[in-house]
Amino acid sequence: MEPALSAQEAEEASRALEGKGVEAILAWALGKFGDGLGFMTALGYSGMILHHFLKKLKPDFESHFIDTGFHFPETLEFLERLKTEHGMRFVVHKSRASLDQLQEWIGPEPWKINPDLCCHYNKVAPLLRVIHPKKAWLSALRRDQSQSRSGIDIVELDGRGVVKVYPMADWTFERSWAFVREQKIPYHPLHDRNYPSVGCTHCTLPVKPGEHERAGRWNSMPKLECGIHVHQKKPE
């Protein structure tokens, strides 16, 4: 399937939208892609901010969530609360690989033996089943979250040739939390327990004072991303 935008069109759109604000970027994306626009979220605070803006523009918007089978109980409880108390709509995707299969294929504690392969079966594979039927995907990634995300454009073709739209690319940690508190946006309960970024139980630790917000993800492992976000390398 050909991308909904060429690389040049994505670059031109990104330049035109830089600095325009989340609502303007979302309005452009909804107008451009319509029902072909998807949004995948892990329920972090940035995702909840983006969902807040989406709901204002399209109240019946349906978001996507991947249940890896290894989430904290608080994550799944928060998901249910978002649906029942806040009227948010989610499509939940699950891995087709059981824990027994993962242990057979990778070994005991597969998240330690090969975290990339573990993430592939539990996160990337469910994503790949749904990503290409959509014309474009929204994401709440921000440039200040990590070095690997520091160069994202507002609109780009990612490493899989998928159109990605990052309406919050230029937001910061401080701006995001000020907005959460001002607008009383619901957020993951583990954020209050020093988990600014929440993933699977085996690969997520609380961060220490002064550490970067993603320092608790795959701690002590040579790994920065789960594989869902694949960025194009830009020319030097």
Phi, psi of 77 (to 5 degrees): -65, -40
Short-list 40, 44, 50, CA closest to 197:
44
**Active-site residue, from 118, 200, 203, 226:** 226
Which residue from 85, 96, 90 is spatially nearest to 42, judged by alpha carbons? 90
CA distances from 162 to 4, 120, 128, 159, 230 (A): 8, 18, 11, 7, 10
Integer Cα distance of 20 and 14 in angstroms:
10
Q: Is 119 a catalytic residue?
A: no
Beta-bridge partner residues of 155? 165
Structure tokens at 227: 């594989």
Tokens of 5: 């935008």
Question: CA 122 to CA 70: how far, in whole Å?
Answer: 9
Distance CA 116, CA 50 (A): 27
- Catalytic annotation, residues: 226
